[in-house]
């Protein structure tokens, strides 16, 4: 602790933000929203990227009509079969992008295809943002290439289940809200959870029916195997039919990598997977069976965060003012989150959303500072 800082005081570097939030509970929602919606929850990335990337629709001149979209960055479109087993069903269009190799001293080594995860992540937007960093990792000798998976982003047709954003927002308000779980230690709490689960499943079925009604045949061709076939087709157009495919996948993107190795073993080049999702369980088990296993090291990650905060000190981690030891800080955070179940703050999002927003950054280390600030503010508002 800084020598001139009283216990529980706000570090000067965080003071102005804290004062703004303290004036009104609504400010806490603002801080949470900033965290919750800046953490890249890829399934919500079903939005057009063209305005962000500054695209202009190209006039097709070949398999891929590349256009310069930024320094060392090109974008374009590629037509692929809707159904690789039935060409009579026609084609769909994938939005594609690449960050060009920057190493001018050594020979270019080809392309590395990238998927950021999801399902639902825009690969084009991802390499627009992360292309330079990925290129640096590979010494600038590869083009960093990606695409918006079928149905998403600027690929077309899009999986638009609603005619407009307003209609989607109304549906979300009428049918959303999430779970209020509690600790499930009583029979009544368990019955309440089951009722919410049945309602949630019914709402998901309704959403799926709306999607199928609006986009028809496309819904039947959005599987992981279809995305993998798009990757193989894309690489053949770009690098040649017999060229080994280099691929880097993150989170759900590791599933794409695993499927590719099994579906196209003769095309495998160098494969990098990070944040691995176990492919056998993904393919053969429902999510409620394999999902909990994703959290088996959550306690270790939380302990690492708490110890790291204490080690960093209050100037770098505002939570450090709440306890002299990691054990004290651990208890204070847990007490606060448990208290939110019994005494929730009087605004949307719900307690569960707040907890999710607090826990998610364990898996995204760059967002740990925002997590620390959110926990700090929640403790102050108790």
Kindly indicate whether the domain formed by 50-158+222-287 is annotated with CATH number 3.30.360.30.
no
| Strand, coil or helix: 166 | helix
Instruction: Give the Cα separation of 70 and 116 in Å (integer).
Output: 20
Instruction: Give the Cα separation of 48 and 38 in Å (integer).
Output: 17
Instruction: Give the Cα separation of 73 and 362 in Å (integer).
Output: 32
Mean predicted confidence (pLDDT) in 291-303: 79
Mean predicted confidence (pLDDT) in 234-255: 93
Which pLDDT value is given to residue 382? Answer: 64
pLDDT above 50 for 1: no
CA-closest candidate to residue 125, choices 94, 83, 95, 161: 95
Q: Which of 80-89, 222-231, 328-337, 356-365 has the lowest mean pLDDT?
A: 356-365
**Cβ burial, residue 268 (10 Å; 0-12/13-18/19+):** middle
In sequence order, the β-bridge partners of residue 272 are: 248
pLDDT tens digits, residue range 89-113?
A: 999 999 999 999 999 899 999 999 9
Kindly list the strands in the beta sheet with 91-99, ordered across the sheet, starting from the edge strand earlier in the chain: 67-70, 73-81, 91-99, 142-147, 110-115, 245-250, 268-274
DSSP H or E run through 287: helix 287-290
Which pLDDT value is given to residue 120? Answer: 85
pLDDT above 50 for 28: no
> Can you give the pTM of this predicted structure?
0.68
Residues with Cβ within 8 Å of residue 41, at least 6 apart in sequence: 360
Say whether the peptide bond before residue 364 is cis (omega within 30 degrees of 0): no
Mean predicted confidence (pLDDT) in 181-187: 73
pLDDT tens digits, residue range 42-67?
A: 333 333 344 434 444 444 445 888 88
Q: What is the share, in percent, of the chain residues with pLDDT greater than 90? A: 32
Are the CB atoms for 15 and 91 separated by under 8 Å?
A: no
- Looking at per-residue pLDDT, the higher value among 12 and 283 belongs to 283
Query: What is the DSSP-derived secondary structure letter of residue 164?
Result: S
Mean predicted confidence (pLDDT) in 190-213: 85
| Strand, coil or helix: 148 | coil
Highest mean pLDDT (candidates 179-183, 244-248, 289-293, 318-322)? 244-248
């Amino acid at each position: 602790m800084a020598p001139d800082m009283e216990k529980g005081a706000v570090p000067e570097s965080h003071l102005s933000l804290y004062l703004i939030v303290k004036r009104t509970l609504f400010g806490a929602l603002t801080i949470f929203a900033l965290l919750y919606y800046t953490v890249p929850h890829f399934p919500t990335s079903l939005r057009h990227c063209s305005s962000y990337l500054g695209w202009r629709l190209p006039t097709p001149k070949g398999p891929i009509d590349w256009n310069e979209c930024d320094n060392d960055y090109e974008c374009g479109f590629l037509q692929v079969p809707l159904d690789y087993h039935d060409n009579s069903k026609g084609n769909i269009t994938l939005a594609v992008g690449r960050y060009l190799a920057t190493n001018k001293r050594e020979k270019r080594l080809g392309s590395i295809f990238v998927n950021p995860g999801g399902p639902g992540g825009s690969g084009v937007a991802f390499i627009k943002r992360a292309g330079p960093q990925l290129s640096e990792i590979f010494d600038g000798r590869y083009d960093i290439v990606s695409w918006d998976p079928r149905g998403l982003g600027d690929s077309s047709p899009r999986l638009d289940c609603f005619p407009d954003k307003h209609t989607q927002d109304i549906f979300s308000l009428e049918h959303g809200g999430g779970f209020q779980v509690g600790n499930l230690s009583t029979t009544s709490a368990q019955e309440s959870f089951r009722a919410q689960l049945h309602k949630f499943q019914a709402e998901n079925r309704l959403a799926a029916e709306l999607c199928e009604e609006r986009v028809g045949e496309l819904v039947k061709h959005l599987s992981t195997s279809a995305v993998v076939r798009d990757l193989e087709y894309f690489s053949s157009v770009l690098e040649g039919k017999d060229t080994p495919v280099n691929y880097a996948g993150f989170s759900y993107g590791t599933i794409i990598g695993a499927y590719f190795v099994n579906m196209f073993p003769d095309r495998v080049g160098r494969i990098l997977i990070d944040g691995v999702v176990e492919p056998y369980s993904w393919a053969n088990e429902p999510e409620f069976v394999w999902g909990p296993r994703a959290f088996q090291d959550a306690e270790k990650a939380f302990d690492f965060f708490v110890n790291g905060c204490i080690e960093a000190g209050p100037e770098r981690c505002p939570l450090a003012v709440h306890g002299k030891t990691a054990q004290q800080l651990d208890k204070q955070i847990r007490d606060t989150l448990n208290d939110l179940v019994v005494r929730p703050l009087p605004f949307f999002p719900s307690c569960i959303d707040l907890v999710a927003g607090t826990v998610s950054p364990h898996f995204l280390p760059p967002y740990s500072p925002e997590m620390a600030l959110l926990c700090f503010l929640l403790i102050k508002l108790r």
